[in-house]
Amino acid sequence: MERFRTNQNLEPDSATVQLMVDEVFSNPKAVKYLHSLGLTDELIKKHIDKIFDFAVDMNNCKGCKGLQYCNKEPKHLVSSVTFKNDVVDRNIVPCKKYLEYANFKKRFTYFDFPEEWLDNKINTSVSNMKSKAKVEILSLYAKASKKESSRWIYIKGDIASGKSFYAATLCVDAARNGAFEHIFFMNVPNKFKELSDLAFTKNPNFSLEIEIIQNADFLVLDDFGNEFKSDFVRDNILFPILSYRVRNKLFTIITSNYSIDDCASMYQTSNASKPKIEQIRQLLNLSCKKEITIFDPSLQ
């Protein structure tokens, strides 16, 4: 169905009007919706100039395959009809899929992974990865999504084993189904450097950033263990984040090339720091229970 191009300063001729009426009434879903607004068939015909584009958009968009395939101009906008106080009006509004995507993306407070991963789907990107470890991770994630558990997930694996992709897919699924409202996925080496820079320039955003990370409903600490380590990073970034989230039972996924013991030990700078290191080790062991090791998908 194509839009009729008419001179906006002229009324369409009777033949054109009849074609527009025929097109609208050939779309049962459009007519049913218009009736639900209180519009009679006669009112639909009377205001066909305001209603026609709505029916065209409904017909053209019914087989929508996704925002990236939209061939409308401008993209992702559709006509909407309202009927209030006996007045029929037409508005241009974002389409349903665009609004769904906007709400989906709004659930990410921050994400540090490729934008194309936002299209990941758990049933194709994760469920078809066959391994006992991945089944266990998926089960823990499902319980956390249903608020049946706040147990953390510690994913250990070699470079290119798919840890980041896997964790990002879980974040995308959580955003898509609304299981968590504030999702924060960060590459630890990059983010900890940003936070350190803010602190050393006495930027007030340092405390705000820490608070946002601490309070995220769903936090991913990706590539943990490869960040620059110092007493400041340990005592003013890592420990406050971990301890706060453990106390408040906030769901967290950690991906790393290293074990929990290795990561904790790498933060030991002196004998005096041993008690703090032990606290970090205990926090991770208490909240994660165990490490789950995954392997390079090409080797499975």
Closest CA to 216 of 197, 195, 242, 239: 242
Identify whether residues 33 and 129 lie together within a single domain. no
Q: Please tell me whether residues 197 and 142 are part of one structural domain.
A: yes
Q: What is the pLDDT along the chain (300 residues), one digit of tens a residue?
A: 445 454 444 567 888 999 999 999 999 999 999 999 999 999 999 999 989 998 888 888 877 877 777 777 788 888 899 999 989 999 988 888 888 888 889 999 999 999 999 989 887 656 555 578 888 999 999 999 999 999 999 999 999 888 999 999 999 999 999 999 999 999 999 999 999 999 999 999 999 999 999 999 999 999 999 999 999 999 999 999 999 999 999 999 999 999 999 999 999 989 989 999 999 999 999 999 999 998 765 544
Shared domain for 165 and 276, answered yes or no, is yes
Q: Residue 63's pLDDT is what?
A: 77
In the numeric block, the tokens 């002196």 are attached to 270
- Give the per-residue pLDDT at 9: 47
Is 45 inside a domain boundary? yes
Give the end of a domain, one of 98, 125, 155.
Answer: 98
Whether 38 and 160 map to the same domain: the answer is no
* 19 and 140 inside one domain: no
Tokens in use for 125? 């990107």
Shared domain check, 171 and 22 = no
Q: Are residues 149 and 214 in the same domain?
A: yes
82 lies in some domain: yes
**Are 126 and 20 contained in the same domain?**
no
CA–CA separation, 51 and 82 (whole Å): 10
The confidence score (pLDDT) of residue 201 equals: 95
Indicate whether 7 belongs to any domain. no
Q: For position 127, what pLDDT does the model report?
A: 53
Answer yes or no: do 223 and 275 share one domain.
yes
Contact 179, 143 (CB under 8 A): no
Q: What is the pLDDT of residue 220?
A: 98
Cα(96)–Cα(133) distance, rounded to whole angstroms?
37
Does residue 201 sit in the same domain as residue 116? yes
Task: Tell me, yes or no, whether 177 lies in a domain.
Answer: yes
pLDDT reported for residue 40:
94
- Tell me, yes or no, whether 119 lies in a domain: yes
Q: Is residue 4 part of a domain?
A: no
Among 54, 80, 98, identify where a domain stops. 98
Let me know whether 179 and 285 are in one domain: yes
> Which CATH number covers residue 215?
3.40.50.300
In terms of residue numbers, what domain contains 212?
107-299
Determine the pLDDT at residue 78: 87
Q: Which helix (H) or strand (E) holds 127?
A: none
Structure tokens at 260: 């929990």
Let me know if residue 6 belongs to a domain: no
**3-class DSSP state for residue 235?**
helix
Domain membership flag for residue 3? no
For residue 295, the model assigns a pLDDT of 78
Q: Which residues share a beta bridge with 111?
A: 185
Our separate counts of H helices and E strands in the chain read: 14, 8
Residue ending a domain, choose from 79, 98, 117: 98
pLDDT of residue 125: 59
String of DSSP letters for 77-88: EEEEEEEETTEE
Is the distance from CB of 125 to CB of 169 less than 8 angstroms? yes
Q: Quick one: tokens of 101?
A: 């995507």
- Provide the residue type at 78 as one letter: V
Q: DSSP assignment, residue 13?
A: P
Do 113 and 246 fall into the same domain? yes
Which amino acid is located at 166 in the chain? Answer: Y
Task: Provide the number of structural domains found in the chain.
Answer: 2
